[in-house]
Amino acid sequence: MKTALLPLALAAALAVPAASCRCGPDVPTAVTVRVKNALDQPIWVDQTLGLLGVELQRGGAGGWTTFTEELACGCQTCTQVCACTCDPGQGGPLVIKIAGGSNVEREWAGVIQEGGAVSCGALFGGTACFRPSIPSLDERLRARLCYALGPPLGSSDPGDAGVPVPGAFDPGALQCVTSELRPSDGVVELSPLLGAPCQDHAECHQDAGELCFSGGCTPGCPATGFPEYGAAWQVAASVTDQGFFTTVISGGVTTHGGTGTLTDVQINNGTMRLSLSRPAAGGGALAGTVYLTVPAAYFPVLFRNETLTVKVVDASTRQIQNNRAITLRDGTGRLLLAADPGVPAAILAPADTAPFSVAETGEIVGCDLQPCGKRLHFRSAFGGAALDGGVLELDPGSSSVQVASGLTYKLLNLAHHRPGQFCTAQPQMAYLAAAQR
Whether the Cβ atoms of residue 224 and residue 150 lie closer than 8 Å to each other? yes
Closest CA to 54 of 79, 82, 31: 31
| Domain-located, residue 225 | no
Whether the Cβ atoms of residue 259 and residue 308 lie closer than 8 Å to each other? yes
| Number of H-type helices and E-type strands within the chain | 2, 28
Domain co-membership, 317 together with 387 = yes
C-alpha dihedral over 231, 236, 240, 243, to 10 degrees?
170
* pLDDT for the residue 9: 39
Pairing of strands 31-36, 187-190: parallel
Mean pLDDT by 10 residues, the chain (437 residues): 39 38 76 94 93 96 94 92 82 92 96 94 88 96 94 77 89 90 96 92 89 88 90 96 97 97 96 97 95 97 98 96 97 97 97 96 91 90 92 97 94 96 87 96
* pLDDT for the residue 1: 40
| Domain-located, residue 275 | yes
Specify burial of residue 277 (Cβ count, 10 A radius: 0-12, 13-18, 19+).
Answer: middle
Domain co-membership, 242 together with 389 = yes
Domain co-membership, 180 together with 214 = no
3-state secondary structure 16-42: CCHHHCCCCCCCCCCEEEEEECCCCCC
Domain co-membership, 100 together with 205 = no
Whether the Cβ atoms of residue 188 and residue 143 lie closer than 8 Å to each other? yes
CA distance 204 to 201: 6
Whether the Cβ atoms of residue 404 and residue 383 lie closer than 8 Å to each other? no
| Domain-located, residue 3 | no
Domain co-membership, 142 together with 186 = yes
* pLDDT for the residue 22: 40
Domain co-membership, 206 together with 151 = no
Per DSSP (E only), the strands in 109-204 are: 112-118, 127-133, 141-147, 165-166, 175-181, 187-190
Long-range contacts of 281-285 (CB under 8 A, 24+ apart): none
| Domain-located, residue 13 | no
If one counts the domains in the chain, the total is 3
Domain co-membership, 286 together with 372 = yes
Segments forming the whole domain that contains residue 46: 25-192
CA distance 397 to 296: 13
Domain co-membership, 182 together with 211 = no
Q: Which of 150, 184, 219 is the last residue of a domain?
A: 219
Domain co-membership, 111 together with 202 = no
| Domain-located, residue 390 | yes
Rounded to two decimals, what is the model's pTM? 0.73
| Domain-located, residue 231 | no
DSSP 8-state assignment for residue 194: P
* pLDDT for the residue 3: 40
Domain co-membership, 214 together with 244 = no
* pLDDT for the residue 19: 38
Domain co-membership, 184 together with 301 = no
Q: What angle do CA 305, 310, 314 make, to 5 degrees?
A: 150
Whether the Cβ atoms of residue 408 and residue 435 lie closer than 8 Å to each other? yes
| Domain-located, residue 384 | yes
Domain co-membership, 183 together with 253 = no
| Domain-located, residue 15 | no
Whether the Cβ atoms of residue 378 and residue 359 lie closer than 8 Å to each other? no
